[in-house]
Structure 1
Amino acid sequence: MKIYLVGYMGSGKSTIGPLLAEVLSYKFIDFDTYISEKEGMSISQIFKSKGEIYFRKAESLYLKQLLEEDSDQIIVALGGGTPCYGTNLQVLKDSDAQTVYLNWHFKRLAQRLWEAKEERPLIASMQSYENLEDYVRKHLFERGFYYNQSDIVLKIEDQNPQEVVDSIKNSLL
């Protein structure tokens, strides 16, 4: 089985993915790291030097490549926008992969992102928490259509990472 974690930036995909992979004895791939390795530069550098349109096209190309690989038993933490651009959602739905949406309330996501905004190229320049919260709310509204088409929609409130992993594992059975 291939499992693709989807959700907004800061939803914990890169934290939950390795934990879930360990529990299931699967290989873990962080999709941003995968893209960075293929492109030979960080996601931030790609955005700065080549722009978001280039990044989104590369993201689609690498998603298709990853889905076409014969390796089963992998867990992939997708980028927050991956299922929302181009034909990526349909490509995921047409594959044999299971998608899991880590669904957080926008206020909790904004809190999590504010603490680490310097590491996120799309929000690093935000000057106020209120602006970030509005930005997250708007994006979640726009992206909810895509995220909610996941095979499993997991509502996350105050669960710790291990509890989230257990919920995913139980949902896959």
Structure 2
Amino acid sequence: MEKRHNIALIGFMGTGKSTIGKKLATKLGYEFIDTDKFIEEYEDTSIKEIFSKYGESHFREKETEALTKIVQNTHQVISTGGGIILNAKNRKILMANCFVVHLTAKPRNIYFRIKNNKERPLLNTAHPERTIRQLLHKRYKYYRVCHYTIKTDVGNITSIVNNIAENYNNSTQLSGHKEVF
């Protein structure tokens, strides 16, 4: 595999993409990009507002537009939205332009990490923990489209960041990657 000069963090909301991404970018001297923040700045409105006014499909279109722009640059750690992998085009863009790292956590841990965040439009349900399990089940095969997977509910942030950096630096030695398109 040829060396990719971006790292993309994929995974469900609450798995640590932003927290780990910022520390990883600092460690590598890369720029940190959060696709959701990129969209909010570009659209001059919140993700919650986009979902509310235009619906999820419109937001997913904006994700693809943002990702296409973002990967034109290199030496970035890109924290993606949890559902960016639902679109086959996004999965292809990520795999072609990034070392893709899937961050995982147990559903219960995800719930406790995000239960007080009211900016999560997909979790505004009567049973958010059940919704997390359902969405994880639905997205599982797509999250497996990656070069590397790491659990974020085991170990500390520093060890996770170091582990990702080491695997990224050794990525030219990988024989391939998992693909589900």
Partner of 1:137: 133
Instruction: Give the distance between the partners of 2:60 and 2:80, measured in 1 at CA.
Output: 12
Q: CA deviation at 1:162?
A: 1.4
1:64 shift after superposition = 1.4
Q: Which runs of 4+ in 1 moved over 4 A?
A: none
SS at match of 2:77: strand
Identity of aligned residues (%): 33
Contact 1:105/1:157, CA 8 A, preserved across alignment: yes
Correspondence for 1:168: 164
Mapped partners of 1:73, 1:86: distance in 2: 24
Of 14, 33, 40, which aligns to 1:36? 40
Q: C-alpha separation between the residues in 1 aligned to 2:30 and 2:155?
A: 23
CA contact (8 A) 1:5 1:99 kept: yes
The residue correspondences of 1:4-23 to structure 2 (distance < 5 A) are 4-23=8-27
SS at match of 1:118: coil
Is the Cα contact below 8 Å between 1:100 and 1:151 reproduced in 2? yes
Mapped contact 2:125–2:131 kept (Cα < 8 A)? no
Match of 2:54 in 1: 50
Take 1:24 and 1:135, find their aligned partners in 2: how far apart are those partners?
35
- Residue type matched to 1:20 in 2? L
- Aligned pair count? 165
Q: Distance in 1 between matches of 2:27 and 2:11?
A: 21
- 2:87 is matched with 85
Q: Please, what is the CA RMSD of the aligned residues? A: 1.4
Q: Which residues of structure 1 form unaligned runs of 5+?
A: none
Contact residue 7 and residue 13 of structure 1 kept, 8 A:
yes
Distance 1:96 1:78 in 2: 14
**Would the alpha carbon gap of residues 84 and 76 (structure 1) be closer, same or farther in structure 2, given more than 3 Å must change?**
same
1:54-78 Cα deviation digits (max 9, x unpaired): 11111111111222x2x21101100
